[in-house]
Amino acid sequence: MKITEQEVRYVAALANLELSDAEAARLRADLDGILEHMDRLSEIDTTGVEPMAQVLFDADPAATLRDDVPIPPLGNQAALANAPEPGAGYFKVPQVIER
Amino acid sequence: MHIPSLTIASVRDGLLARRFSAAELTAEALHFAETENPRTNAYLHFCPERALASAERVDEQIARGETPGPLAGVPIAVKDVIVTRGVRSTCGSRLLANYIPPYDATAVERIEAAGGVILGKTNCDEFAMGSSNENSAFGPVRNPAALDRVPGGSSGGSAAAVAQGTAVVALGSDTGGSIRQPASFCGVTGVTPTYGRVSRYGLTAFASSLDHIGPFGRSVRDAATVLSVIAGRDPRDSTSAAAPVPDYTALLDRNVKGLKLGLPCEYLKQLTSETGDLIARAVETLKSLGCEVSEISLPATDYAIACYYVIATAEASSNLARYDGVRYTSRTRSAGTLSEMYRRTRSEGFGAECKRRIMLGTYVLSAGYYDAYYLKAQKVRALIARDFANAFQQVDAIVAPVSPFPAFKLGEKVDDPMAMYLSDIYTITGDLAGIPCMSVPCGQTREGLPVGMQILTRHFDEITMFRLADAYEHTQSN
């Protein structure tokens, strides 16, 4: 077994997900099968291979930098248009500090 | 005019000869699409006001005697993971059911600047995660070629709309095959350009190092025309490439004699016999056009699924962290504290496949597993890219299947996520390497299910890919 239900609960907490008992059991079984397949990565020799984080082309390292010229921002009203709870020009959220 | 058989060229001819106006065409195309859509559920919603406004701009240009843009008046569908200002963009997710973006994706801006008429937004797997379109919160799409079968995914709606004729061309997105596989299943052309060829600005992020926007068309020429319009450097996406964009359609000369093609032996192992036969027949056709075909090897292929699902889910777990109930419309009704709000909003909003991938991605990035999974996968990704680089020392293009099998039945694979992932074997490698790749129809099974052939070329060599696909397509229409 690659992963226990306890580990599933731990990972869910890291990912900000709440799982029902049925979901946790199902995910444990699914992840177990998938991780077993992923273990074949350990079979291939990658000695001396640089990790590839991005598809990179031969370009000047500064090619993606732009001049520091201000451009008009989205604007407060547009930025808040999809907020579930806007207020006084901000995103409102429930109580932050728990005790 | 017969809406389902329109092409970009026939629309242009009609407009310039004043046989119809763009506004008339748009009204008729919208009517046709709205009438036909219930058969497949390809579109999630239409944007008639915006479409008619685009059409009127084209009509005014023509009335002033100006030359209209290359997509003038063309009815276009856009996958709902690509944002449209003022038009709902749900990503196929309940979480974004009411999300109305405050800006346009660059690809959308360029389409409309070229005269294109966006009719509406198409269905897809939630946040583009899936290979069957069954992970949409708004119901699956049905394959126009066989209504009891999936259209493929995740860009199933865009592929189905083009196949059904409710759009002339469409935009989709591809992270692991999400353009090519539905193109293959629905019998249309689908193109995943070089990574960075098309700006990702406004494409809702799934796995940023793998995400591409690309076109669907009923012909290679139409898909190539759309790519010419949407490709190019965009200062708003720092990974977009500055390389000049050729006019791809000007180079479709149907002369592919002497082109060297590679057939990867690892891609021919798990095919159903009918798919294998159709690919073999297509390869024979390419030989008859004067191409030289040799067998090549891409030895890291066996590790591609594992590599892809580590990297893609890791990036997804990070990208999807933003849906926490603060900014994007949905928030749980039952939360006393901020952390409860995060957890409940996400748990109520995400569908099962998204949760599975967020969990997997969080796991492979978590303390103790990072080196064994994520870092290892990035090294294997380098080996997969190296395989292609080696192959392109010997050949100009690679031809391969798109999927091991044709469109499967709705519900057939939903309960087996690993089986679903394995079906992506031939398409994920192109995304991992970032090379251009496409699906072009190469016939049908005895049951009438479309099958696509995949063509892959060097970075930024979309021209060779299109020339080969166009020459092949021409043999099929004769």
Q: pLDDT digit string (tens) for B117-170?
A: 999 999 999 999 999 999 999 999 999 999 999 999 999 999 999 999 999 999
First vs last Cα of chain A: how many Å apart? 38
Longest dimension (CA), chain A: 57
Averaged pLDDT of chain B: 96
Instruction: Give the residue among B59, B53, B48 at the shortest CA–CA distance from B22.
Output: B59
Looking at the predicted structure, is the pLDDT value of residue B237 above 70? yes
> Is the confidence at residue A60, as pLDDT, over 70?
no
Q: Does B16 touch chain A (CB under 8 A)?
A: no
CA B468/CA B220 separation, integer angstroms = 10
The one catalytic residue among B93, B132, B178, B439: B178
Beta strands in B325-421 (DSSP E): 397-401
| Chain A: closest CA distance from residue B226 (Å) | 23
pLDDT of residue B216: 98
> With pLDDT > 70 as the criterion, what percentage of chain B qualifies?
100
* Nearest Cα to Cα of residue B251 among B478, B72, B11, B465: B465
| Structural domain count, chain A | 1
Across residues A48-65, what is the average pLDDT?
78
Both tokens of residue B270? 């798990």
| Residue A47 sits at the chain B interface (C-beta within 8 Å) | no
Does any domain span residue A28? yes
Question: Per the domain annotation, does A35 fall within a domain?
Answer: yes
Residues 110-169 of B with CB under 8 A from A: none
Task: Compute the distance between CA of residue B191 and CA of residue B155 in angstroms, rounded to an integer.
Answer: 12
ipTM field: 0.94
Range with the poorest average pLDDT among A50-54, B11-15, B49-53, B207-211: A50-54
Q: What is the distance, to the nearest Å, from the Cα of residue B120 to the centroid of all Cα atoms in its chain? A: 16
Identify the closest residue of chain B to A77 by CA–CA distance.
B102
Kindly list the residues from chain A whose CB atom is less than 8 angstroms away from the CB atom of residue B418. 30, 33-34, 37
Residues B364-381 as b/e (b if ≥16 CB within 10 A, e otherwise) read: bbbeebeeebbbbbbbbb
* Gap from B227 CA to chain A (nearest CA, Å): 20
Interface contact A55-B209, CB threshold 8 A: yes
Q: Render pLDDT for B395-437 as a digit per residue (tens, 0 to 9).
A: 999 999 999 999 999 999 988 998 889 889 999 999 999 999 9
Residue B55 exposed, middle or buried by CB count within 10 Å (0-12, 13-18, 19+): buried
> Given an 8 Å threshold on Cβ–Cβ distance, is B338 in contact with A96?
yes
- Report the greatest alpha carbon distance in chain B: 70
Probe site for chain A from B318, B331, B355, B359 (most A CB atoms < 10 A): B359
pLDDT at B332: 95
Residue with tokens 């065409």: B25
Strand partners, B260: B292
Q: Is the pLDDT of residue B478 over 70?
A: no
What local confidence, expressed as pLDDT, does residue B185 receive?
A: 98
Catalytic-labelled residue, pool B21, B54, B79, B136: B79
Find the mean pLDDT for residues B203-217: 98
* Domain limits, chain B: 3-251
| Residue B336 binned pLDDT confidence (cut-offs 50, 70, 90) | confident
- Give the whole-angstrom CA distance, residue B184 versus residue B176: 14
Which B residues, 178 through 217, put their C-beta within 8 Å of a C-beta on chain A? Answer: 195-196, 209
Q: Are A40 and B303 a contacting pair at CB < 8 A?
A: yes
Domain span holding position A13: 5-42
Average of per-residue pLDDT values in chain A:
90
Give the number of C-alpha atoms closer than 13 A to the C-alpha of residue B373, restricted to the C-beta side. Answer: 27
pLDDT tops 90 at residue A39: yes
pLDDT at B84: 98
Is the pTM value of this prediction over 0.90? yes
Q: Is the domain covering B3-251 a CATH 3.40.50.720 domain?
A: no
* Whether residue B409 lies in the annotated active site: no
With CB atoms and an 8 Å threshold, state whether B381 touches A64: no
Q: Is A1 on the interface with B (CB under 8 A)?
A: no
Catalytic annotation present for B178 = yes
Q: B379 vs A11: CB contact, 8 Å cut-off?
A: no
pLDDT at B477: 81
Distance between A40 CA and the closest CA of chain B, angstroms: 7
B324 contacts chain A (CB < 8 A): yes
- Interface contact A49-B383, CB threshold 8 A: yes
B414 touches chain A (CB under 8 A): no
User: How much is the average pLDDT of B437-447?
Assistant: 97
Q: Pick B379's closest partner by Cβ from A40, A46, A98.
A: A46
**Known catalytic residue: B79?**
yes
Percent of chain B topping pLDDT 90: 94
Residue of B101, B303, B328 with shortest CB distance to A41 = B303
Q: How far is B416 from chain A (nearest CA, A)?
A: 8
Q: Provide mean pLDDT across the span B249-262.
A: 95
Q: Would residue A51 count as lying in a domain?
A: no
Please tell me which residue in B54, B131, B132, B154 is annotated as part of the active site: B154
Measured between beta carbons, the chain B residues lying within 8 angstroms of A3 are: 363
How far is residue B364's CA from residue B352's CA, in Å, rounded to a whole number?
Answer: 18
Best of A42, A82, A98 to disrupt the B interface (most B CBs within 10 Å) is: A82
Chain B residues 431-470 within an 8 A CB cutoff of chain A: 433-434, 459
**Does a structural domain hold residue A12?**
yes
How big is the CA angle at B183 (ends B400 and B8), to the nearest 5 degrees? 115
The answer to whether B277 and B446 are in contact (CB under 8 A) is no
pLDDT tens-digit map of B67-111: 999 999 999 999 999 999 999 999 999 999 999 999 999 999 999
For chain A positions 68-97, those within 8 Å of chain B (CB to CB) are 74, 78-79, 81-85, 91, 93-96
Q: Is B358 on the interface with A (CB under 8 A)?
A: yes
B11 vs B20: CA distance, rounded Å: 9
pLDDT confidence of residue B1: 84
Residues of chain A positioned with their CB less than 8 A from the CB of B337: 94-96, 98
* Domain contains A31: yes
Task: List, for residues B281-290, the tens digit of each pLDDT value.
Answer: 999 999 999 9
B347 — contact with chain A (CB < 8 Å)? yes
**What pLDDT, on the 0 to 100 scale, is given for residue B210?**
98
A27 or A53: which carries more pLDDT confidence?
A27
A32 occurs within a structural domain: yes
